[in-house]
Structure 1
Amino acid sequence: MAAGASLKRIKNIAISRPILYGNTATPLTEEEKANPDVSPDHTHSWTIFVRSPVLDMKSDAASISRVKNKLAVATNKKEASPAPENNHELGFIKKVVFKLHDTYANSTRTIEEPPFEVTETGWGEFEISIRIFFPTEMGEKNILLYHHLKLHPYKKDNIPAQIGAPGGAPSGEEEENANVPQPVDSYVYDELVFNEPSEQMFELLTSRPGALLPAKSDPNDPSKSYSLQTEAEELDRLTAGLETVYQQVQKTKEYILQLEKEKEALSQ
């Protein structure tokens, strides 16, 4: 910013931009484990990222390629793919700093151009801090996020059984599928909200339209991996979960009342 220039903020204006942050993880194949550059105790390849929920099919070709090829091992990537020029909706981000577990060499990774991601191999889950920086001349403070690296999918047997219900042992098919290592997608949809942004930031954010989520998801189209359908399905899952909790609470109350009646009968 030129000397003497002031940061004038636009009052009563708030602009939001959507992001996805989280990780993907894939079990290493026997061939990948045999790579001398991979530690013998490592079990998964994982990628921690900050990206737009909508991929630009033209400018994000490299990112799409990475989404399709999750099996690539970090140490096997001899040449980095060229970064997309505009990275769709993340042009307002200057850099992203990922703080990995201290056991990793150079545990603080600074990514100054898209794609904002780090790929590694490992065996354990841990918390990763993600700090997002904006151009200094925009006058916006950096944002700190946290993500717990997830390598293993949730299992049904981790869900407690209902009170008074038979012990929900998994079927043979479910148990067999649970023992097969599965890829994991663990991410959060969030929106960065800029309240009363500076004029420079306002101009940068409005220089192109915001990301519009597609109506439906398409597993064969990485640009539609997150959609309005995804949001609706998540709301349905939350609603179903709340209903399940309510039903369990009611059953627990009935069970307690039954025990109290039995106790009363025994004391007489």
Structure 2
Amino acid sequence: MPNSSLTKKHGSDRPESSGSVLKSQRSKLVQSSGKRLKDFEVSVPIVYGNVAFWLGRKASEYQSHEWTVYVRGATNEDLGVVIKRAVFQLHSSFNNPTRVVESPPFELSEAGWGEFEIVITLYFHSDVCDKPLNLYHHLKLYPEDESCTMSTKKPVVVESYDEIVFPEPSDAFVARVQNHPVVNVPRLPAGLNLPSPVQVEDVEKRKRGDTKDSPLTQWFTNFSEADELLKLAAARQQVQAHIAKLRRQLTLIDGQPQQSKPTPE
């Protein structure tokens, strides 16, 4: 791959540890044509990113890492109920750089040596949205922390959290997904009549499309509210401990005898 478009980090002292880099956003999309539910919206929490493993002794000049880039449900549920296909646009030095994944799980595995930006384009089912959504992910092979030793067992993990919001969704879409765990559907307005019940989804097909049994699951970031509350509680404890330490230091300073100024003759 040409150096002009890629970032490559050299040196055997580069660590390979799991260090999730997280960002969060909300993407609003206009719905497809058809009957819409006014003052109503549904959201689909997703996570996109990559997991990269250093090849160690198997590494070569042009293949130092094996990596997987993906879009998954925030709780590893099947996204196929909303997303029809995903297109991953790789660096132009790859053979067939435009990779199309027609069914979940929406992921792509490759090998290489350089870091570059991957454009992930999501296409939705016809009753969801007419326009695709572009996500931009910078492939990371090397962690930011350089204080550890290179390891083939612990990968670099970089993930971003996003909520795809569909304001005023079509009633057909809501009827199809209202009981699906990947979609957040608020309480339906009183007196709302949705279309006739849609065909029950094949549960086995859904299980084949989720990422709960993926070998990468152990490295995925937990985006649950409970996990976030635990992180906030831990951060609060650290702040309180730091405040207590500063107070003790101030007490010691205040308790020291002051040097008297010499009396002028």
**TM-score using structure 2 length:** 0.57
The equivalent position to 1:30 in structure 2, one of 57, 60, 63, is: 57
> Partner letter of residue 99 of structure 1?
Q
| Structure 1 residue 54, shift from structure 2 partner | 1.5
In 2, distance between residues paired with 1:221 and 1:110?
22
Q: 67, 70, 75: which one pairs with 1:54?
A: 75
How many residue pairs get aligned? The number is 175
1:11 and 2:23 matched: no
Instruction: Compare the two structures and name the one with the higher helix fraction.
Output: 1
The aligned counterpart of 1:169 is: none
Counterpart for residue 84 of structure 2: 94
Say which SS state the counterpart of residue 160 (structure 2) adopts.
strand
CA contact (8 A) 2:61 2:113 kept: no
Instruction: For residue 222 of structure 1, report the CA deviation from its aligned partner.
Output: 4.2
Cross-structure match for 1:44? 65
Task: Tell me how far apart the structure 1 counterparts of residues 68 and 117 of structure 2 sit (CA, whole Å).
Answer: 13
Closer/same/farther in 2, CA of residues 221 and 44 from structure 1, 3 Å limit: closer
Larger RCO, structure (CA 8 Å, separation 6 or more):
2
The structural deviation recorded for 1:96 is 0.6
Indicate the SS of the match to 1:146: strand
Do the aligned partners of residues 230 and 101 (structure 1) sit closer, same or farther apart at CA in structure 2, a change above 3 Å counting?
Answer: farther
Aligned to 2:158: 186
The alignment partner of 2:228 has SS state of helix
Q: Deviations over 1:157-196 (max 9, x none)?
A: xxxxxxxxxxxxxxxxxx4x24556511100111110000
- State the Cα RMSD in Å: 3.3
Distance 1:55 1:192, change over 3 A: same
Change (3 A) 1:225 1:155: closer
| Matched-pair identity in % | 38
SS in 2 for 1:41: coil
**Cα distance change of structure 1 residues 191 and 234 upon mapping to structure 2, 3 Å threshold:** farther
Change in 2 beyond 3 A, CA 1:198/1:14: same
Give the deviation of 1:199 after TM superposition: 1.8
Question: Partner of 1:202: helix, strand, or coil?
Answer: helix
SS in 2 for 1:94: strand
Match of 1:118 in 2: 108
Question: Does 1:205 pair with 2:177?
Answer: yes
Report Cα offsets for 1:73-92 as digits up to 9, x if no partner: xxxxxxxxxxxxxx3x4421
Match of 1:109 in 2: 99
What residue ranges of structure 2 are gaps of 5+ in the alignment? 1-32, 185-215, 240-265
Structure 1 residues 224 and 117, CA gap change in structure 2 (3 angstroms): closer
CA distance in 2, matches of 1:113, 1:30: 35
SS in 2 for 1:130: strand
Residue 231 of structure 1 is matched in structure 2 by 228
Partner secondary structure for residue 144 of structure 1:
strand
Matched, 1:142 2:169: no
